[in-house]
Structure 1
Amino acid sequence: MAVYAKLRGVIFLAITDFILFPDKKDWRSDHRLLDTKTYENDLQDFYFIFLELEKFNKELDQLENLQEKWAYFFKHAHESTLEEMENLIGHDFIIKKLFMLWIKLVGLKKS
């Protein structure tokens, strides 16, 4: 049995504060690997996800899902108030942990 068969999915996540793919409209793009000679997708469990925060333009009250919450956090945490971040976090344990780490590392505006 090949070693690859035992490997779980590998996700490469790149979060940019600039436009990486100017011809793509969406702020998130998902990519896969292909063999350049045969165009086979031998590494089917390898994913490359790019979040272009420059293209993400939703406001806090417009967020529809967890992906958008994360994008909002990465784009706006440095300029958000404590109240705004608490509204974003809600009951999400993981975002709350990241938020607490953020406060320790860089601080946050109180109002």
Structure 2
Amino acid sequence: IEMQVLNVLGFEKRVLYNAAKAFSIQLSVGEDYNLLNPVIALTITDFEMFASSSKVISRYCLKEKEDLTDYTNDIELVFVELPKFKKELDQLETITDKWLYFLKCANTLRSVPPSMGEVSAINKAFDIAKQSKLTKRELEALEKREIFIHDSQNAILKARQEGMREKAIAIARELLDVLDVETISQKTGLSITDIQNLN
């Protein structure tokens, strides 16, 4: 089980690597392969990993490429993308809904809502979370970490935007000899002033 706050480069490969490693280290040299137990790698993310899908929970396993038959069920990757879970407290229907709500909102809950209290494991998880209240110093460290993560995400976004702008400028330079400024502006998203300044 892994909880991940920040989508870092190579994260998808790390999940697969850790699952394969957990599967392979079960045996010592010479032991029978039938002793291998299945591995389910559960990854809970505080960001969207699969933008093309609206599913909160995604499951991946080994399949034949054309007819999609299962190879074995020995390695399964399960991803839970918390930002995609949009249900409010009064909309929770299943145990899965209640757990997802708890995982997403645990830090804001002062007590277990009655509708979720029916699940004894959620009560136990809430008690554990309550007992592990952080000291002032730990809270400050956590806040600094959250600020760092937020700043890192913004830095990545800014770098992407700057990269896109640089690409648009390079394209505009190539088009200056063949198109008028207005058309280049429409095609690249750059302002007319920006394009005129390239001359």
Query: TM-score, normalization: structure 2?
Result: 0.45
Displacement of 1:92 after TM fit?
1.8
Q: Which runs of 5+ in 2 are unaligned?
A: 1-30, 135-199
For 2:120 and 2:97, locate their aligned partners in 1 and report how far apart those are by CA, in whole Å. Answer: 16
Q: Closer, same or farther in 2 for the Cα pair 1:45/1:13, shift >3 Å?
A: same
Q: Deviations over 1:20-50 (max 9, x none)?
A: 10001111111113589xx985442321110
1:26 aligns with 2:26: no
The correspondence for 1:59, drawn from 85, 88, 91, is 88
- Higher normalized strand content (fraction of residues): 1
For 2:75 and 2:89, locate their aligned partners in 1 and report how far apart those are by CA, in whole Å. Answer: 32
- Higher normalized helix content (fraction of residues): 2
What SS class does the counterpart of residue 106 from structure 1 fall into?
coil
Q: Deviations over 1:34-84 (max 9, x none)?
A: 589xx98544232111010000000111111111111101100101231xx
Query: TM-score, normalization: structure 1?
Result: 0.76
Q: Closer, same or farther in 2 for the Cα pair 1:43/1:89, shift >3 Å?
A: same
For 1:79 and 1:51, locate their aligned partners in 2 and report how far apart those are by CA, in whole Å. Answer: 20
Paired residues for 1:64-79 under 5 Å: 64-79=93-108
May I ask how many residue pairs the two structures share in their alignment? 102
Q: Give the number of the structure with larger relative contact order, counting CA–CA contacts within 8 Å between residues 6 or more apart.
A: 1
Displacement of 1:95 after TM fit?
1.5
Superposed CA RMSD in Å reads: 2.6
4+ residue runs of structure 1 moved beyond 6 angstroms? none
1:92 aligns with 2:119: yes
Q: Which residue of 1 aligns with 2:130?
A: 103
Displacement of 1:88 after TM fit?
4.5
Question: Bigger radius of gyration, 1 or 2?
Answer: 2
